[in-house]
Structures are given as C-alpha cells and as structure tokens.
Chains A and B, each alone.
Chain A
C-alpha cells in the first residue's frame, strides 16, 4: 500500500520533503495486466502561445546543435529530445481559444467550435491504449471551472477533462480496502463483482431507451452504453489482476492540502503530473493528455507592482522572469515524467523505451499568431524510430492571393490577410502526426485532413 503521507511528501507538500522523488515501487508496474511491450503516449498541451526567446532553437555551440533555453530542465535527458520547428495547421483557431489543435482538421459548428474529428490522443488511445483499463486520461493541470477540454473522441464528441487532482485520483485509484477484518483482495473482488452486476443491469435499461431513438439522440445513449462497457472492461481487468500487485490501494493527494476547487497553485499542476506518472507506471493507462491551460498562476514571480495572471502576461504584463518561469516549469514537468518512466523497468530496459512524450502549444507561434509557426518537442525515440535532435523544417514564400492551402483552408478571420510574400511553413501538423504514426509502428496510418497532408516527415525518422 502506498501511504498518503508518502504521496504528500513526494509532492513536496509535507514538511522537509524532497520534491517528486520516485513514487512507485517496481512491483507496482505489473498491475492491471500491463504487457511488457506496451507503447505509451503522453501529450502535454500548453496554450497561449510561445516566444522565440524561451523555446529551443538551433545553436551550433550547444550540445547536439540546439539550445534548450527555458526547457533547460531537459539538459540531462537532451539525447532523448527531438524538436521540430515550422509546422502549419490552417484549421486551428488562431486566438487563444485554440481548442482543437490536435485534430489537424476542420471543426464543426457555426464557428468551428466543436471538434471535427478525434484529437491525436484519442486517436492513439484506440490504437495503442485499447488494452489498458483506461484507454486514455485527460487531466487539467490547473483547476479552473471554466476550463474546457482540448481532447475529443470524434466529431462533436469532446472528451471530458479531469480538473481537480484529488477527485481524479480518488476516481482512478479508489480505496477498495476491506473493513472489519475482511481481506482487502476479497473486499475488492466483492465490490468489483457488485459494480459489474450493477453496470450490467443499467446497460439493459439504457438499451431499452436507446432502441427508441435515432440520430444524435441515439448517439447520446450509445455514448452512455460505450462508457458502461469501458468501465466494465476495466473492472474485469482489475478482477483478473493478482491482488498483491495492485496499485488500487494508492492514496491520493489530500483535497484540503491542495486547496480543493479553483486551486491555481503550482502544487495542483504537480499533483496532476504525478497522477499521470502513476497511471502510466501502474499500467492503468497508456495514453495521457495533460491540459496546461491556466487562467491564473499565482506562483509565477512578479516584479514590483507587476500584475499576476497568465493571460495578461502575454499582453504587456509579462517580464522575462515570468515567461521564463512559465516555460521552465513545463520543462520540469516533462523531465519528471520522463525520469519516472526511465526509472520503471520494462522488458530489458525501461518504460521510457516504449513511450513518447509530446509537448505542443495550441497556438502556432505567439499569443495571437495564426496557424503557421508551430514547433513541437518530444522525449523518446520509440525503440530508435525517431531521430533525436533539432529538425528545422523548410519554409517558403507565399502569396496570399494564391491558392495555397495554407491560406485557402483557413477561415477568413484567422488569416494573416493583409500580409503577403511571407515565409510560411511547408509541412503541416497532419504530416507531423502521420510521422508519429510511423514511429509508433502504424505504417500507412494517416492523421488529419488529406488536403494538408504530404506524408511522413522523413527528417524526423531514423
């Protein structure tokens, strides 16, 4: 059993604690029927834009030919890092409400506010995560009631996001311990059987109503039924796992310590990263989407009477100190996740050998930039298929009067319509994700809208 005080200590929430030490004992990784060759994907999606001075850039004087800048926490794992610069995605909303950057396809609805296809995390959940008890997790680093999901299972099917660390932890790692001297594994099995019988009965009830419906109304009930099936499958996997190797007795963060709802502190983000690491290393899931979209980040350093907050820092209120702290935290989170995977044995190596961590920003380029300056960072080579280093993709001069899809597929109000003859990215995010499919051993599997897809980016591959 993983005690609460140790979780808190490892989070740095208890006095005298070291920050985020190794959390999971090696035996835990065998929980929930995890296979030895499982592939994993973590998407760390941040928002609000990037700025050149804080993100990795080519530098012949630096090791491996590029400077990590604010992502310096990755220095000791730099050999596992690949940075790709210059991608475009004309379908993305250009303002800071970029919600569907991970689809590389048009949205639906009046202002394309609904996803048009599955996002890459959910796409991969069906391909590499389907054997896990939870196909994918969607966790928000900052607890904010107004935060909306950036993950979707398909057209018009936003995938809900967990926004509160303590409750997410309780949901994913329920305490199944027995009472009154009951053997914990017997208690767990009893409760699991009860829940499965309950779900089976509810399934029958929901089907009766579902049969009376058609179209989108039927889809609502089908979604409910699909969720019941997924939860039931997870309970079944849990029941088949030897009780001594279970992560189910892990205790989560204390809601009072974390501050409960609307907690903008760094500890909440750290706890969500910890939950992601624990879920991966315990074999609960193989795909995690971390949603780093804050509205208030009180922990950021301030100068004098400078204003706080994350949005205003992009509108003239942010100092170098604050921007650097913002991006360097993200580097630290990536490193934490990567180290935890490296520390977890798997086969002849570690979990990191079979995992890709992808960092991406919802906005191409700066805070209000359009669709053409994406850069992404990954950790991991997926068994040597991805080539570490800096991939500086080509750009070309574009006339905005032409028929180039980089313009014509973007909505009018997202275009840089008054600019002409600018240098724009040649390769798209659809090409990028298609390349990742190759790296995951899914050759020929494409992703994103065909109109912006040329094929895998060979420079990324070995």
Chain B
C-alpha cells in the first residue's frame, strides 16, 4: 500500500502513537526481486503516484526506542576536543598559540562520529606526545604577570604560586582544585624551582596543569552532576568552550529548569553570533560542511582552494544565522533562500557580489543547505555530478538510514559516458539489477533533483555530457512505507524539511553531540521530550535543545 507523504510531524494533531500499530498496514515492503523493471526498457522507473489517504500511524525514531525507557548515560570522563582545548587554554591563560590545529591530526574520532565522541580511549602515545608539544608551546608563550600580577615580583614564593592555582588553574580545570591536586601541583613547582629556578618552575607548572586530567578531561562522575560539571556540560555543548562568567554566576542554580532554559537560549545565541563552535559546529558536522576541504578536485574543474574556503564559510555562516534568528526553524535549514555569498562564490551562484557580506536572496532553484556549493561539490565526481553519493548523503546522513554495503563482486565500474544517455539514464542498471535495486531505489531518486547542479554546484538545465535537458524529478522511497515525489531541488528541500525521519535524525544526532555518545542505547525519554518540543514549537531547533538541557536525565548519570 502506498501512502501519501504529509508534513505531519509539524502538526501536533498528526502525531501518532509512539509504538507501531499492528493493525495499520504501513509498508508493503520493496517489490519482489522478480518484479524488477525490464533491463532493456528505455523507460525510467515510474515514480509512485501520490494517493490521498490518511497519514500512517508511525512510531518516532523508527520504532526502535521504547518511549518509556529512561536510561541516563553512564558516568563518564570525556577528553576535550582540540577546539575545546583551544578555547579553554586561551580563556585561562590568554595566550595566542594555535592549539587546535596541531592536535587535529592525532585526536581522531571514528568515521561518522561527531568531534565530541568520547567512546574510545583517546590518549595513545601519539596523542600524548602531540599534546605535550602543544603544552610546551603554550607554557613558553604564557607570560607570568598576565595571569597573576604577584608573579611580577614574587615568582619564587609559594603563596603567589598558590594564587596561580586559584586563578588560571581553576580556569583550566573549570572548578577549584581539590586539596590533593593543589598539594601535588605545589610540590611539583617546589621541586622544579629547587632544580632549575623559579622562572623555569613556572613554565613547567603551566605544562603540568595542561597535561593534568583536570584540564584534559571533563568528568561526569556521580549520579547527580556537580554544579561545575553541569556548567561545563552546558557550556561545551552549546559554545564549544568553558563556562563564561555569566554561566559561572548561576552555576549553583543549574537545577532550576527556568535557569537552564534561559542559559541555553543565551548560550546558543552567543555562540551563533560569536565563535560558532558549539551547537553551530554540531550542525556543520551534521551537514558535513567541511568535507569539501578534503575532496580532491582536478584543475580543469576550476574549484580551487579559495572556492573551497568560501563554500565552507558561506555554509557555516548560513547555519549560524539560522540558529541566531529569533525563532530558528528546522525547515529553514532546507528551505531558506537567503545567504551571505562571499565574492568568490557569487559567479557560481549566479548572483551579484553582495556588499560587505550582506544577505542576498538566491535564485529560485537554490535553497537551504542542499543548495550550497559545500555540499554539491563535495558530493560530486571530479568533473561529473555524483547521483549516488549525493543520494547516499541524504539517505544516511540526513535521514539516519544507513544502507548495507553493495553485494560482493558487484560490477562497480561506473557506466561510461556515451554522449547520448544522461547520468540518470546511465544509472538505470541500478533499477534493473535486483541486487542493486534494493538499495539504489532508496538512494538514486533522492538526488535526481540535484542534477540541476553540476560538479561545482553551478546551476544548469542541460547536461553537457549528453546535451540533454535534465529530468529533475525524484522521490523518497522507503520512509515508513511512504513515498513522496518531487520535482526539482526546491521540492526536494520541502520534502526533507517535513520528513519526520529527517527531524528525528537531527534530534538524535544533537543528543549524541551533546553527550559525546554514539554507541549504546540513547535515553529514549530525552529523545521523545525533544521530539515533543520540536513538534510543539513548529520545528524550533533552540526549543528542541532546551528540551534536552532541561530534561532531568541531561544532568543525571547512572
């Protein structure tokens, strides 16, 4: 049974039961292998016809989660990310040293995980050595008098060094040092002073504080997080940095949902209009905005490093502005026609360069994140577009619907350009071979509308390889038994912005980013609370995040 695709998620009355209803037939499954289209047929697969029936009763999160299952995250320690370390070190010591860049190479996370992922042991020899090198550079650049005035005249006095621990040390640890930590630090400083003198001892002390677990790790050790742990969790999630003074001033009141909600809204906005390293970064990672920096491009394509950088800048700014707007909406991510176009991108987008970074309305076919060069060029072959990888990106990254590997021994040579068939037609094989069709009918049609954007992301109506007009019709298949057809990138964007799976995917990934989690069962209570807030707010991302941070389980561990 085909059922219509309706934007039900955003209508509260449309929210169905949270567990599958066995009486409702929502999915008749993929067609049997024997019913695959005739491979000799020149006719493209027929799009599903929309039908007007009642929307399906669907379970949120694919029915995979029991909505009543409240399972807070386990106690954990989380190593700071390179970016978090940089902001922490700069806030505490005021040094102008590049901290994140040298660490990026060795502080890796598994493929597909957010930078905040904390599920693996993370301080192997390479990482420790790299961090030692950075710590040495930071310590060498730290001017004693800048972090504690008494060091100007009393650098060899224990009491003055104690004040360093109460100031810069506390800032690095995001909490006061415990007595044993304080004693150990002072003992280390004393020994170093006796061996190499007070100046050297100060430098070594800074190195020690940087390498200490209090700086390197965030701890969430008890069932109820401590006030400083709460503040740190909130700050690093929403801003990618340590708590600011305003947050620290209400640290003890972070058990009050009203205080948490107010701080959440403030911090999201501060980050979106500032460094863009918190929730803004999560969106940038979710949409793989920086992938374009690492995708090789032939010179012939004319997509040079300046264009790459501009594409990333434009997309990141776009995401930050969506968050910074008064009522940021999920649909804006996909449907907003407004952006700030760096001059180098203007020609590619077919617009006049805007003055001083002013916001412009893009041509009608280019909307939202899928209209950005950062996505379109990253998901393209060197000179041609790439229907498969654009479709895979949407299916796996935006809908959280991972697909299995292709069958072994599949003929993986891409169909050759013959001058007559379009890229889309050359992929007909995927529809005719049953071993391919099971997945490719879920991949390829998602990206057909994006064929109007070439391998650089420039708009076109004719495909040069075939000299044929582009057929930009596509459809979503296999989403809770629903199909939806669309024509062109704008309708594709609309379809995604109202697809429940897309919203739930972002909700789930937001939770993962905040908690540093990927593996293990997520806390269904939190996810459903976020989903309810999303629906009630009309897809407001910030209110969805407020539902996360104000949920009792957010600050609870088991």
Name A residues whose Cβ lies closer than 8 Å to a Cβ of B.
93-95, 97, 109-111, 113-114, 134, 138, 144-146, 148-149, 153, 156-164, 167, 170-171, 194-195, 197-198, 201-202, 204-206, 208-209, 212-213, 215-217, 219-224, 227-228, 230-231, 261-262, 264, 295-296, 298, 305, 307-309, 312, 314-317, 367-371, 412-419
Q: Are A159 and B105 in contact (CB under 8 A)?
A: no
**Are A163 and B77 CB-contacts (below 8 A) given A205-B212, A209-B217, A221-B213?**
no
Whether B122 and A417, one on each chain, are in contact in the complex, defined by CB atoms closer than 8 angstroms, is no
Q: Cα distance A148–B416 when bound, in Å?
A: 31
Taking a contact as CB atoms under 8 Å apart, the answer to whether B409 and A298 are in contact is no
Residue contacts A-B, CB under 8 angstroms, 19 given: A113-B111, A157-B121, A158-B108, A160-B106, A160-B126, A161-B126, A171-B130, A205-B181, A209-B219, A213-B221, A215-B74, A231-B132, A262-B294, A295-B294, A312-B381, A314-B412, A316-B413, A367-B412, A415-B408
In the complex, are the beta carbons of A230 and B125 less than 8 A apart?
yes
List A contacts of B106 (CB < 8 A): 160, 162
Q: Of B125, B214, B409, which is in contact with the most chain A CB atoms at under 10 Å from its CB? A: B125
- Beyond the given pairs A227-B124, A296-B296, 17 more chain A to chain B contacts, judged by CB atoms under 8 angstroms and listed by A's residue number, are A94-B405, A110-B519, A156-B120, A160-B127, A170-B133, A194-B192, A198-B207, A209-B217, A212-B221, A213-B77, A220-B122, A221-B213, A227-B125, A295-B294, A305-B383, A314-B412, A368-B410
User: Are B204 and A217 closer than 8 Å at their CB atoms?
Assistant: no
CA distance A219 to B120 in the complex (A): 9
The 0/1 profile, CB within 8 Å of A marked 1, for residues 195-227 of chain B is 110000000100110011110110101000000
Given that A205-B213, A220-B79, A369-B409 are known contacts, is A315 also in contact with B414, CB under 8 Å in the complex?
A: yes
Contact partner of B412 (CB less than 8 A), chosen from A204, A206, A307, A315, is A315
Chain B residue numbers with a CB within 8 Å of A157 are: 120-121
Contact B128 A95 (CB under 8 A): no
Closest chain-B Cβ to A285's Cβ sits at a distance in Å of: 11
CB contacts (< 8 Å) of A148 on chain B: these are 108, 110-111
Contact B409 A416 (CB under 8 A): yes
Residues of B within 8 A of A216 (CB): 119
- Say yes or no: A309 contacts B104, CB within 8 Å: no
Return the contact of A227 from the options B127, B188, B219, B415 (Cβ within 8 A). Answer: B127
A364 to B, closest residue via Cβ: B408
Give Cα A114 to B409, complex, Å: 24
User: Which residues of the partner chain A approach B102 to less than 8 Å between Cβ atoms?
Assistant: 167
CB pair B408 A202 closer than 8 Å: no
Closest chain-A Cβ to B304's Cβ sits at a distance in Å of 13
- Contact: A417 with B77, CB < 8 Å? no
Is A223 in contact with B122, judged by CB distance below 8 angstroms? Answer: yes
CB distance from B30 to the nearest CB of A (A): 15
User: Beyond A213-B77, A370-B408, A418-B435, is A162–B126 a contact (Cβ under 8 Å)?
Assistant: yes
Residues of B within 8 A of A144 (CB): 294
Which residues of chain B are near A296, meaning CB under 8 Å? 295-296
Question: Distance (Å) between the CB of A115 and the closest chain B CB?
Answer: 10
Closest B residue, CB atoms, query A262: B294
Contact across chains for B405 and A315 when beta carbons are under 8 A apart: no
Q: Is the CB of B414 within 8 A of A205?
A: no
CB distance from B297 to the nearest CB of A (A): 8
**Is B158 interfacial (CB-CB < 8 Å)?**
no
The tally of residues in B whose CB lies under 8 Å from a CB in A reads 70
A209 to B78, CA, bound (A): 12
- B277 vs chain A, min Cβ distance (A): 18
Chain A proximity of B211: nearest CB distance (Å) = 5
What are the residues of chain A within 8 A of B76 when measuring CB–CB? Answer: 217
> Do A206 and B408 contact each other (CB < 8 Å), given the known contacts A213-B77, A220-B121, A418-B435?
no
Contacting residues, chain B, for A146 (C-beta < 8 A): 111, 291, 294
Interface contact B123-A202, CB-CB below 8 Å:
no
Residues B128 and A227 in contact, CB atoms below 8 Å apart: yes
Residues of B within 8 A of A145 (CB): 104-105, 293-294
B63 to A: closest C-beta gap in Å: 17
A315-B412, A316-B416 as given contacts; A208 in contact with B180, CB under 8 Å = yes
- Chain B 382-418 interface 0/1 with A at a Cβ cutoff of 8 Å (1 = within): 1100000000000000000010111111101111100
Which residues does chain A contribute within 8 Å of B204, judged by CB atoms? 194, 197-198
B413 lies within 8 A of A149 (CB)? no
Contact present for B213 and A264 (CB under 8 Å):
no
Is A223's CB under 8 angstroms from B213's CB? no
> Contact between B407 and A162 (Cβ–Cβ < 8 Å)?
no
The CA of A227 and the CA of B128, in the complex, are separated in Å by 7
Residues of chain B in range 162-196 having any CB-CB distance to chain A below 8 Å: 180-181, 184, 188, 191-192, 195-196
Kindly provide the distance from the CB of A365 to the nearest chain B CB, expressed in whole angstroms. 9
Q: Which residues of B contact A262 (CB under 8 A)?
A: 293-294
User: Given A156-B120, A158-B110, A164-B105, is A414 in contact with B405 using a C-beta cutoff of 8 Å?
Assistant: yes
A412 to chain B, nearest CB (A): 8
Q: Which residues of B contact A93 (CB under 8 A)?
A: 405
On whether the beta carbons of A224 and B416 are closer than 8 Å, the reply is: no
B184 adjacent to A201 (CB under 8 Å):
yes
Which of B77, B192, B291, B435: most chain A CB closer than 10 A?
Answer: B77
Interface-centre pick from B208, B295, B405, B435 (highest chain A CB count, 10 A): B405
Cβ of B412: which chain A residues have Cβ within 8 Å of it? 314-315, 367-368
Instruction: Decide: A417 and B407 in contact? CB cutoff 8 A.
Output: yes
A114–B119 CA distance with the chains assembled, in angstroms: 11
Query: 8 Å CB contacts to A: which residues of B327-367?
Result: none
Q: A367 contacts which chain B residues (CB < 8 A)?
A: 412
Minimum CB–CB distance for A88 against chain B, Å: 12
Asked if B123 and A312 make an inter-chain contact with CB atoms under 8 angstroms apart, the answer reads no
Given contacts A160-B126, A368-B409, contact A220 B110 (CB under 8 A): no
Contact of B128 among A167, A194, A231, A368 (CB under 8 A): A231
Which residues of B lie under 8 Å from residue A312 when comparing CB positions?
A: 381-382, 414
For the complex formed, measure the closest distance between the CB of A121 and the CB atoms of chain B, giving whole angstroms: 14
Task: Give the 10 A-B CB pairs with smallest separation, nearest first.
Answer: A296-B296, A223-B121, A370-B408, A413-B404, A224-B123, A307-B382, A316-B413, A416-B408, A227-B128, A160-B126
Given the known interface contacts A158-B110, A205-B184, A217-B75, the answer about A231 and B296 at a Cβ–Cβ threshold of 8 Å is no
Q: How far is the CA of A312 from the CA of B414 in the complex (A)?
A: 9
Q: How far is the CA of A446 from the CA of B408 in the complex (A)?
A: 29
Q: How far is the CA of A212 from the CA of B196 in the complex (A)?
A: 34
Residues from chain A with Cβ under 8 Å of B125 in the complex? 134, 227, 230-231
Q: Tell me if B129 is interfacial: C-beta within 8 Å of chain A.
A: yes
Are A223 and B123 in contact (CB-based, < 8 A)?
yes
Cα–Cα, bound, A319→B227 (Å): 62
Residues on B with beta carbons closer than 8 Å to the beta carbon of A134: 125
Query: Which of chain B's residues have a CB closer than 8 A to the CB of A316?
Result: 413-416
A413 touches B108 (CB 8 A): no
Q: Which of B407-462 contact A (CB under 8 A)?
A: 407-410, 412-416, 435
Residues in B neighbouring A315, C-beta threshold 8 A: 412-414
In the complex, A53 Cα to B36 Cα: how many Å? 35
Which chain A residues lie closer than 8 Å to B213 at the CB level?
205-206, 208-209, 221, 224
**B111 engages A220 (CB within 8 Å):** no
**Are the CB atoms of B196 and A309 closer together than 8 Å?**
no
B124 x A167 contact (CB < 8 A): no
Which residue of the partner chain A has the closest CB to B409?
Answer: A416
Alpha-carbon distance A206/B124, docked complex (angstroms): 14
B408 and A94 contact, CB distance less than 8 A: yes
Residues of A within 8 A of B17 (CB): none
> How many angstroms between the C-alpha atoms of A262 and B305 in the bound complex?
11
Question: Is there contact, CB below 8 Å, between B191 and A160?
Answer: no
Q: What string of 1s and 0s marks CB contacts (under 8 Å) between B93-126 and chain A?
A: 0000000001011101011000000011111111
Residue among B104, B300, B402 making CB contact with A305, cutoff 8 Å: B300
Q: Which residue of B lies closest to A109 (CB)?
A: B519
Nearest-Cβ distance from residue A162 to partner chain B, whole angstroms = 6
Distance (Å) between the CB of B477 and the closest chain A CB?
19
CB neighbours (8 Å) of A295 from chain B are: 294-296
Task: Please tell me if B298 contacts chain A, counting CB pairs below 8 Å.
Answer: yes
Check if B124 sits within 8 Å of A223, measured CB to CB: yes
- The one of B74, B119, B212, B409 in contact with A202, judged by C-beta atoms closer than 8 angstroms, is B212
A236 → chain B closest CB, angstroms:
15
